[in-house]
């Protein structure tokens, strides 16, 4: 069946029309090497720096604090390992929450293999990190860095970034904030030392990440030295993609207040109706303090992959469990940390422009599909 509705914006937001327009124009105007001195190169440099200024303004940074990477994952890897590298004299201890994106956890594993230590702060049943436990952890002597996302990528729960940032400031520990799920949708919480984000989450093209490092934060790239992007990120900048990313971020941020409130109301409808329509369902994540576009629920006695396949046949694109590790058979580390049902999990994340009719169509087909899968399994 053809696509009825795309509900996987937390994985990737469809390209914003303004990003497409900017990309096509920049392919003609911004193809040259921005590090050279001839006319076409100067034009590319101007486009790159204008995009940097626009992104910095939306994210609450200075332009000279912002570097562009090849992905949000690379931004996290460089942010975590570069800050730890720059602060080796301060200590080797890293503090993260149990529900961070896999890129943070993988960077932590590299740090441990290199002789560092990692402390993981637990979360409550909604997926919210324990701010008091975080404060206690960053007070430990030798803590070099703390990491906390703005909102969880699987269940949408907003994290206590401002509280954790205050504790980090008190103890002189930089805080890396992963804003992948909220940049362009919600204001960036204050208090970060390092900020990471990913353009394709806000309607920009894939292949552009953002790494912002506050002035005064000790940072040293863990990669071989390269003169580009303030020596933080190696390699030739993809100027057209960066220009398109900035255009999408500016457009998303301009419409965010109205559009995200509209999407949030649709998410409320899903949160309310699914348990009424489908028996033995657990809706997961904080019902109020959450990203406006994400809702996750788990269906007892249902194989998540089977449900996703049936929804796909019915024309609905959704995801399940940890979107970045869904190809593995391991249960989601986020859902495990929360202590909630890990099977039969569906994450619905609404892109800009989602209509009430699309949500109603989803709610109309879901009960029968769940019933059919349970029936096939002999539990209906």
Active site residues: 324
CA angle 207, 213, 217 (to 5 degrees): 155
Q: Are 9 and 351 in contact (CB under 8 A)?
A: yes
| CA-based nearest residue to 124, from 286, 6, 259 | 286
Distance from C-alpha of 372 to C-alpha of 380, rounded to nearest angstrom: 8
Angle between helices 131-138 and 161-170 (to 10 degrees): 20
Residue 328, classified by CB atoms within 10 Å of its CB into exposed (0-12), middle (13-18) or buried (19+), is exposed
Residues 6+ apart with CB under 8 A from 142: 90, 91, 92, 93
Phi, psi of 229 (to 5 degrees): 45, 50
Q: How many Å apart are CA 7 and CA 185, to the nearest integer?
A: 16
Residue 9: which of 149, 204, 158, 240 has the closest Cα?
204
**179-206 burial: b if 16+ Cβ within 10 Å, else e:** bbbbbbbbebbebbbbbbbbbbbbbbbb
| Residue 300 burial class via C-beta count within 10 angstroms: exposed 0-12, middle 13-18, buried 19 and up | middle
């Amino acid at each position: 069946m053809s696509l009825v509705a795309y509900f996987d914006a937390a994985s990737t937001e469809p390209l914003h029309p303004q990003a497409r327009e900017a990309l096509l124009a920049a392919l003609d105007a911004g193809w040259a090497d921005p590090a050279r001195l001839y006319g076409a190169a100067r034009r590319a440099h101007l486009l790159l720096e204008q995009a940097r200024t626009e992104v910095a303004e939306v994210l609450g940074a200075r332009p000279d604090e912002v570097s562009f990477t090849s992905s949000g994952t690379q931004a996290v890897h460089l942010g975590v390992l570069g800050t730890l590298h720059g602060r080796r004299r301060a200590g080797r201890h890293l503090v993260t929450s149990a529900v961070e994106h896999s890129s943070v956890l993988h960077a932590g594993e590299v740090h441990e293999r290199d002789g560092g230590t990692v402390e993981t702060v637990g979360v409550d049943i909604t997926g919210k990190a324990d701010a008091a436990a975080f404060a206690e952890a960053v007070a430990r002597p030798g803590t070099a860095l703390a990491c906390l996302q703005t909102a969880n990528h699987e269940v949408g729960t907003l994290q206590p970034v401002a509280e954790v940032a205050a504790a980090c400031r008190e103890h002189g520990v930089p805080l890396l904030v992963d804003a992948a799920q909220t940049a362009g949708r919600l204001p960036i919480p204050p208090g970060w030392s390092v900020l990471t984000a990913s353009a394709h989450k806000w309607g920009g093209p894939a292949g552009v990440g953002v790494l912002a490092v506050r002035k005064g934060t000790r940072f040293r790239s863990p990669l071989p030295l390269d003169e580009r992007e303030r020596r933080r990120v190696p390699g030739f900048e993809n100027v057209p993609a960066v220009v398109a990313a900035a255009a999408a971020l500016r457009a998303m941020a301009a419409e965010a207040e109205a559009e995200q409130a509209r999407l949030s109301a649709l998410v409320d409808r899903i949160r309310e109706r699914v348990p009424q329509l489908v028996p033995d369902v657990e809706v997961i994540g904080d019902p109020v303090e959450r990203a406006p576009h994400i809702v996750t629920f788990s269906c007892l006695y249902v194989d998540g992959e089977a449900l996703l396949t049936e929804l796909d046949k019915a024309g609905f694109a959704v995801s399940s469990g940890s979107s970045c590790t869904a190809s593995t058979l391991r249960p989601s580390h986020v859902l495990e940390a929360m202590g909630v049902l890990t099977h039969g999990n569906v994450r619905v994340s609404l892109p800009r422009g989602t209509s009430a009719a699309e949500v109603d169509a989803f709610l109309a087909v879901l009960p029968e599909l769940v019933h059919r899968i349970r029936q096939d399994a002999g539990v209906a």
